[in-house]
Chain A
Amino acid sequence: MARKDPGPQVDRRKFLSGVAAAGAATAAAAMSTPVARAAEPAPAPRVPSALRPTLQVAAAETETPRETTNRIGGRPGSDFMVDVIKTLGIKYLPANCASSYRGIHESLINYGGNKMPEFLTCMHEESAVGMAHGYFKIAGKPLMTLCHGTVGLQHATMAIYNAWCDRVPVIVVGGNDMDAATRPPGVPTFHAAQDINALVRDFTKWDDTPVSLAHFAQSFVRAYKIAMTPPCGPVMISLDAGLQQEVIRNHGDKLAIPRYVPTAAPQGDSGAVKEAARLLAEAQNPVIVADRAARTPNGIKLLVQLAETLQARVIDQGSRVNFPKTHYLSAPPTAVSGADVILGLELSDFWATVNSYTDNGENGGIGANGTRIKPGTKLISISSVELNTKSNYQDFQRFQVIDVPMAGDAEATLPALIEAVKAAIPGSKKAAIEQRGQAAKKAHAEAEARAKQAAALAWDASPISTARLCAETYAAVKDLDWSIVSQSGNVSDWLNRLWPLSEHHHWIGRSGGYGVGYGAPASVGAALANRDAGRFSVNIQADGDLMYAPGVLWTAAKHKIPQLAVMHNNRGYHQEVMHVQRLSNFRNRPANYGADMGPVGTRIENPDIEYHKLAESMGWWARGPIKDPAQLGSALKEAVKIVQAGQPALLNVWTQPR
């Protein structure tokens, strides 16, 4: 660590050694502040006395010393860190406790009163970050987490990567005892590193290692600001254990906390906006595709306004609720095939939006590519991710040539684009645009009927069909202010096809990095935000996902975060079931199922996991396994009442694979 200041004469390290070597009297004698001590004259040598000691002297030498301040000789630096954190209005701090951040932990719960933020006890760092991820998707505000800078951060990395890919801000603070010469020997050395941030640098927006309290104040506010500026993303701060525990010293300048002022989101270039508007206004069949376009509820309103102005169909790829599924301009992914102009808004994969990939062993096993669109279709992109790319983890996918690419935030650019489109639509096009809308209404109604008829297939099957699972669950909560706090849940998109998703909070969207294990913690984080908003949270919980870190169930019960979890228990890592089957077929070999229903290594059966018992053991109300669809409705009704009373509830439902 670069900090050269000698620090206080009594610091935490002297405190530790003092306890062992010098005893309480020594420590008590060192209570005065360093500044005060420096001003005192050197004491004169003591002269032996034959007189009886005074009462005061006798008491001082024989009684237990009374502490006038504290053992560290002042106010700990971590108290000031809490002051900094409190200026940003961070409501919760999900974390798994660790000694490398014990200084700030103590300050948070004692000095800070365990409010703003409130410490939420987590059983895994991946759960803590996943909770912060899910919370932001509903609340639109970031949470911070604390972790051991090495072992804890390694646990947290997958969830940080999901947040990175999903453009979600999370402030990760890793405790790190940096001074190798003075840190306690043994475990703290295994749990320290020169540069803990290096572990996540490839998938965080920014990181820093503050070396003073003033530096911490600037780093933390800067981290918050960077995380929240689109494209949003996780940030990392390495927090020295010594800095947390040492006393606040006056270096001449009063410690100051910078005021947080949000940075305005970047907008697309005005010339490019005008050109995009011209293309859209003159198109015969413009199609809009949105993935993370609606960062806020206002983003949905803007997208509806643009779509209605053009009577353009909108494909919502679903990393957020971008567009109401109930709107007649809502369209399936296949709608790109008839487009002559496609506007992509915050797409993570424009290539796959307009191309297809078939994984069937072609071309020596690498698969085959094809196009989904007509030749000559013009492509427009507005994406803030162009402003923030990294080399190692290239989540921006294959290269797609775009006719009008804009580096900017889609939601921030939409107002200008809407006005430009309105100005660019020629009067002669208005009838054709109206007709386009009529055709879209017809197509939407037909698609809805087809979806419902498809849902009727296997309606009475056991295990229960995923369509019925979703329909039964909707029936149980439709009169409540509901919010789906799971990702797709791998239920054949029935949530999107059957539920009237229209509000920003109706669904938290996908995970970003598709790291399994995101679902359960994200659902708890999102449910926490919904609890504060008075909403009812529904989680279609995948079985394999839950088992990555099921301790998050306990966190939900502990902190009274209600949700209705309906298990999609297909008893397997089903994506991998299909992958290994596929490869076996390519190679013309029967897949080895062992004693299970699918390829060895992919199934979660023999024995079956009793998720209801698992949840019950951690404070949830739970029932199952439910295999008969006729029993699902009544179980759901009972569970909903429990959740409304404030307790999380889980139904273990055996389901069809997808």
Chain B
Amino acid sequence: MKRTLLLVAVLSASQAALAAGSADKGKTAFAKHGCWQCHGFAGQGGVAGPKLAPDPMPLEAMSAFVRNTRGGMPPYQKAILSDADLADIHAYLQSLPKARDYKSIPLLNP
């Protein structure tokens, strides 16, 4: 019972920290921690990493993935990326506008 309560408390605290993201700070953190290297400055993705924005995955899922990834992306443990920074990064990704429909871009319809 005590363990359950503790887990709830930890999750709540974690979610509270994750929920307090700032898009402005997140833009800085996105650059500072090298996320842009594979995903691009706008999270658009490319050959080295998938698109992150717009419509990023939920913060909890993103956190779980970033901490424990077994895929192509190297993990970011808390020692190098805090929960607060991660939440800010998520907020930044959420703030990015949707892409235009490619059909509305003449250069993509030559």
Contact = CB atoms under 8 A, between A and B. Distances in A.
A297 interface: no
Nearest to A499: B110
Contact of B51 (A454, A493, A656): A454
B41 A461 contact: yes
Interface in A444-481: 449, 452-459, 461, 463, 465-468, 471-472, 474-475, 478
Contacts of A457: 42, 44-45, 51, 99
B107 A475 contact: yes
Given A360-B74, A453-B102, A475-B110, A656 B80 contact: no
A194 interface: no
Given A475-B110, A591-B34, A461 B105 contact: no
A458 B40 contact: yes
A218 to B, nearest CB: 48
A120 interface: no
B74 A458 contact: no
Contact of B44 (A358, A449, A656): A656
A369 interface: no
Interface stretch (B2-10, B14-22, B65-73): B65-73
B83 to A, nearest CB: 15
Contacts of A581: 34, 37, 74
A371 to B, nearest CB: 16
A467 to B, nearest CB: 8
Interface residues of B, number: 35
Contact of B41 (A359, A362, A463, A478): A463
Given A362-B70, A452-B102, A459-B100, A466 B46 contact: yes
B40 A453 contact: no
A360 B71 contact: yes
A472 B46 contact: no
A657 B40 contact: yes
Contacts of B109: 452
Interface residues of A, number: 46
Contacts of A453: 99, 101-102
A474 B69 CA distance: 37
Contacts of A463: 41
B44 A461 contact: yes
Contact of B102 (A455, A465, A658): A455
A145 to B, nearest CB: 33
B46 A658 contact: yes
Interface in A555-603: 574, 577-578, 581-582, 584-586, 588-591, 597-598
A475 B109 CA distance: 10
B100 A456 contact: yes
Contacts of A458: 40-44, 99
A461 B38 CA distance: 16
B71 A585 contact: no
A588 B101 contact: no
Interface of B: 31, 34, 36-38, 40-48, 51, 69-77, 79-80, 99-102, 105, 107-110
Interface of A: 358-362, 449, 452-459, 461, 463, 465-468, 471-472, 474-475, 478, 490, 492-493, 498, 574, 577-578, 581-582, 584-586, 588-591, 597-598, 656-658
27 contacts: A358-B71, A360-B71, A452-B102, A452-B108, A453-B99, A454-B44, A454-B45, A455-B108, A457-B44, A457-B45, A458-B44, A463-B41, A467-B44, A468-B107, A471-B108, A492-B46, A577-B34, A577-B37, A581-B34, A581-B37, A585-B80, A588-B79, A597-B31, A598-B34, A598-B37, A656-B42, A657-B46
Given A459-B105, A474-B107, A492-B47, 12 more contacts: A359-B72, A454-B45, A456-B105, A456-B108, A465-B42, A465-B44, A466-B46, A472-B107, A498-B108, A588-B77, A588-B80, A656-B41
